[in-house]
Amino acid sequence: MLASYLTVAAMLFCIGLYGALVKRNAVVVLLCLELMLNAVNLNLVAFSKYGVVPSLTGQIFSLFTITVAAAEAAIGVAILIALFRMRGTVNVDEFDKMRR
């Protein structure tokens, strides 16, 4: 049972990772980050039910993660809006200020 949950989570994670690495649009990148976090959440819940030592801690952790993810998304979008105001684009290719 555990294996199928983990497989789904792994696929979800890989899709998220792929999107985060290659997508140009910063909004999509943020969405993909959420996907990866959710993959982790899925793992946590799955282990809390089917793990070697089942415990409620996993589920509590996933609640934490969701909260943090929400906060992170809020901050991320705020930064994006600020960037969009400054540069007029959400294309991540054009954000290369770190180079200098």
Partner 1 sequence: MDKLTQTAWLIPLFPLAAFLILTALGRSYRRVGVLIGIVGSFAAFLFSLFIVVDRLGANQVDYNYSIEWLAIGDYSLRIGFEITNLTTLMLAVVTLVSLLVQLYSAGYMKDDERITVFYGYVSLFTFSMLGLVLSDNLLSFYIFWELVGVCSFLLIGFWFTLPKARAAAKKAFIVTRVGDVGLLLAILLLFWYMPEHALDFTTIQSVFDGQSGAITNGITTLIALLLFVGAIGKSGQFPLHVWLPDAMEGPTPISALIHAATMVAAGVFLIARTFDIFQDSAAAMETIAYVGGFTAIFAATIALAQNDIKRILAYSTVSQLGYMMMALGLGSLTGGIFHLFTHAFFKALLFLGAGSIIHAVHTQNINEMGGLRSKMSVTTWTFAIGALALIGIPPFSGFWSKDLILSAAWETNPLLFGAGLAAAFLTALYMSRLFFLVFMGKPSAASMDAQESRAVMTLPLIVLAVLAAVSGFVETPWNGWLGTWLTDGSEEAHASGAVIAYSVAVGLLGIYIGWLAYGKRSISFAAWHERLPWLVRLLERGYYNDELYSAVIIKPLKLLGNVLLAFDTYVIGGIVRIAGAAVSTAGRAAARLQNGQAQTYSLAAAIGLVVLVAAIVGRRFLP
Residues that bind partner 1 (CB under 8 A): 17, 20-22, 29, 92-93, 95-100
**H-only helix segments in 23-96:** 26-50, 57-87
Query: CB 49 → partner 1: shortest distance, Å?
Result: 26
Minimum Å gap between C-beta 60 and partner 1 is: 27
Based on CB atoms, which residue is closest to partner 1, 85 or 97? 97
Closest to partner 1 by CB, 63 vs 94, is 94
How many CB atoms within 10 Å of residue 28?
15
Spatial separation of the C-alpha atoms in residues 93 and 70, rounded to whole Å: 25
- Decide if 43 contacts 6 (C-beta within 8 A): yes
Sole residue written with tokens 């290659």: 22
CB of 96 to partner 1, least distance (A): 3
18 versus 64: smaller Cβ distance to partner 1: 18
